[in-house]
């Protein structure tokens, strides 16, 4: 799969995939755009949501809506995040305590096993850059 990020203007970029999806990228104060650090966090939350969707809808109901919230720890002035916290907001009031615990365990296990983004963040990978020199 080919992904690209193209500069559109000052602090204004568009990320694209081969399927025609686009996302605006800019500084953290850029109107209508995600910062790269926000996209990293969104990727973690999105991966968790996609991974857990079937488990949640099967147990809570096919029409269940849920939101995945996230925050990140970042030291003042640091150029990296220290932690990303993903929190599921889902109404589990129709489940008893044992069912809620079983669902939480199943969701955690699925994310730990299947979520590419979370697994990559936890293990860390090399990131390389290539810049033309001629």
Question: Chunked in runs of 10, what are the mean pLDDT values of the chain (134 residues)?
Answer: 93 96 94 95 97 97 95 93 96 97 98 96 93 91
CB atoms within 10 A of CB 11: 13
* Residues 31, 66, 118, 82, CA torsion sign: positive
pLDDT at 134: 85
Per-residue model confidence (pLDDT) at position 101: 98
pTM across the whole model: 0.89
pLDDT of residue 1: 73
């Amino acid at each position: 799969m080919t992904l690209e990020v193209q500069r559109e203007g000052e602090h204004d970029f568009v990320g694209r995939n081969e399927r025609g999806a686009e996302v605006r990228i800019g500084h953290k104060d850029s109107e209508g755009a995600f910062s790269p650090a926000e996209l990293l966090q969104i990727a973690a939350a999105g991966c968790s949501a996609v991974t857990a969707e079937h488990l949640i809808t099967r147990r809570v109901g096919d029409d269940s809506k849920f939101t995945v919230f996230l925050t990140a720890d970042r030291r003042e002035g640091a150029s990296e995040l220290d932690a990303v916290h993903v929190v599921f907001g889902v109404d589990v009031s129709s489940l008893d305590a044992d069912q809620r615990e079983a669902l939480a365990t199943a969701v955690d296990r699925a994310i730990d096993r299947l979520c590419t983004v979370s697994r990559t963040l936890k293990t860390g990978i090399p990131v390389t850059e290539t810049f033309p020199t001629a």
